[in-house]
Amino acid sequence: MAMKKAALFCVAVFAALSVTASCGNPAAPPPAASVSQDASASVPDPARSGETPPVTMAGSGALGDCYVSIDACRLTQDVGGAPAAVVTFEWTNDGDKPASFMVALNAAAFQDGVQCDFAVLSGNGGQNSGAFMREIEPGASLSVQYAYSLRNDTSPVEVRVTQMFSFEADPPAVTRTFDIS
């Protein structure tokens, strides 16, 4: 009996988090892309595969109840002297409840096809390190930054932002590739 109650409690918590934390407004059309994508990132032809291609927006776009732009990428070093990048995002809460970037959106950086770890910079490394945790009210915008450890300081860095909670196999994404060499 206790096991059933624990299982039901876990399901209820997951459902509540999915409903309250996700940015899920699929009716909002994505705005036009303003930054060119890396030519190597191809989208399959739906006429040939019979599948709907994932929605990928270059540089900025609407992801559910959020609007996000990937604005800049600055090369720096982590605490050990290894190459790192600080990526700046601007996001707007278009929902009807307060939300934070880290709960609403998932940002990742890739280099040479491998996801980059988060970097630890000395001091604050010139980054606004806590902004991604701040909740903002509906209609408000905030600039946030993430620091990523890089594999090298020459290969391009692809940044991808998706909704934190999505049940789609290929969720919509905002991407931008930075040439850091």
3-state DSSP of 109-123: EEECCEECCECCCCC
- Dist. CA 31–CA 69, nearest whole Å: 11
Where do the domains of the chain lie, and which CATH numbers do they carry? Answer: 2-26+54-178 (2.60.40.1240)
User: Does pLDDT of 4 surpass 50?
Assistant: no
User: Does pLDDT of 7 surpass 50?
Assistant: no
Q: In this predicted structure, what is the pLDDT of residue 5?
A: 46
Q: For 123-140, what is each residue's pLDDT tens digit?
A: 755 566 677 788 989 999
Q: In this predicted structure, what is the pLDDT of residue 53?
A: 54
Q: In this predicted structure, what is the pLDDT of residue 132?
A: 76
3-state DSSP of the chain: CHHHHHHHHHHHHHHHHHHHHCCCCCCCCCCCCCCCCCCCCCCCCHHHHCCCCCCEEECEEEECCEEEEEEEEEEEECCCCCEEEEEEEEEEECCCCCEEHHHHEEEEEEECCEECCECCCCCCCCCCCCHHHCEECCCCEEEEEEEEECCCCCCCEEEEEEECCCCCCCCCEEEEEECCC
Contact 58, 37 (CB under 8 A): yes
Count other Cβ atoms within 10 Å, centred on residue 119.
23
- In this prediction the pTM is 0.67
- Dist. CA 81–CA 76, nearest whole Å: 9
Most confident of 67-81, 112-126, 159-173: 67-81
Q: For 31-80, what is each residue's pLDDT tens digit?
A: 333 333 343 444 444 444 455 556 788 889 999 899 999 999 999 999 99
Provide the percentage of residues in the chain whose pLDDT is more than 90.
51
